[in-house]
Structure 1
């Protein structure tokens, strides 16, 4: 268990520095609902960013522009094309949100279904929570990488929105790094999505370095340029 004080800026008034007291400790069964709720809400926040990413693809913009002009020329009215584009955007937002919710449900039914068994009982794994004001405000997990047994993978990083900016995510990241160092892992790795720019900056400030970037190898991934960036923190000198 690690006790820490975090300093940061209030989200509404960034010029006013405030303090928040929190502690990082191991996961307990009593945290189950809070942890899953925090994960779900945190992941849901990316829907608007994903929608913007998809809409700003050149082929999507071209398709909408062609539809707009076709309706404008055929109807000789501005109302119909504007309404059509608005409805199309709303439908696209609904579809993307639906598929993203399926991904969240998949995670909740996989490693997040039995957190105790997945992360607290298996060898080389662990799950931490950040606690403040008698509630869970942050989470992070670690498990051996499926690709390299000498690498530890950082997973399930999430911080409650009103507790961001106080260094909690950085402290959770360092907890994983310390865990990796104690157990002799060569490095800590993690994946981020193209819309997780704030998280990427945070990881880079801790010392993680991007070493690979690729488009999700699916038709949908290539269609919307769904990019995944892989980061690494070298705990031990490279061989």
Structure 2
């Protein structure tokens, strides 16, 4: 009887034993992004305690903090009127003594089609609420993968997305990641991008009303109070396991917070 091997993706070697902190571009500093940043702060400190260089994060967002952001997103009343990215990065740097960076602009090509400065990173994490932005970023990442560099070579894309009470986190490779020989596992060098695998589903689920909320009560009609925090913790746990254990048999999950159901997305 032939034994069916478990499909596994082995983490790229550079993430396990890098010479410098792992460069991460975190795109979006709202309900999910603000909480993902906190999780990355905890992850980076934990990695350094394990003799790893840790993380170097650059946060991209051009939004300004409003009263509607208070409570559901990780902002204080005193920060109203500041750029989300600046407020969050300043807080992390003061708290942990890091030198992470804030960008008060969108992660997008300019009018000449040129990628933004400081766009290179090893890991890209998107926490955006616009479907077209995801497709634009996917095209940018594919273009980056064609011109590989020794440092800050793009390797992974972790995408967070949600509606009011449901959401998903999908891990993708940017190009192929060389896998070791294994007799025990079936290794997978490539994990599909969310825009390739679930492109039509994303387009169908896109909300037509993308106007800014004027109050927390109005914002909660679009996204429930704990959906963002739950996705952030679970999604960053997936990233942590790749650093800690050097492999993963899951490349994401689907979450329904209303009935507390989670469905893992297996590597295949």
TM-score by length of 2: 0.26
Larger helix share, 1 or 2: 1
Larger strand share, 1 or 2: 1
Considering Cα pairs closer than 8 Å and 6+ residues apart, tell me whether 1 or 2 has the greater RCO.
Answer: 2
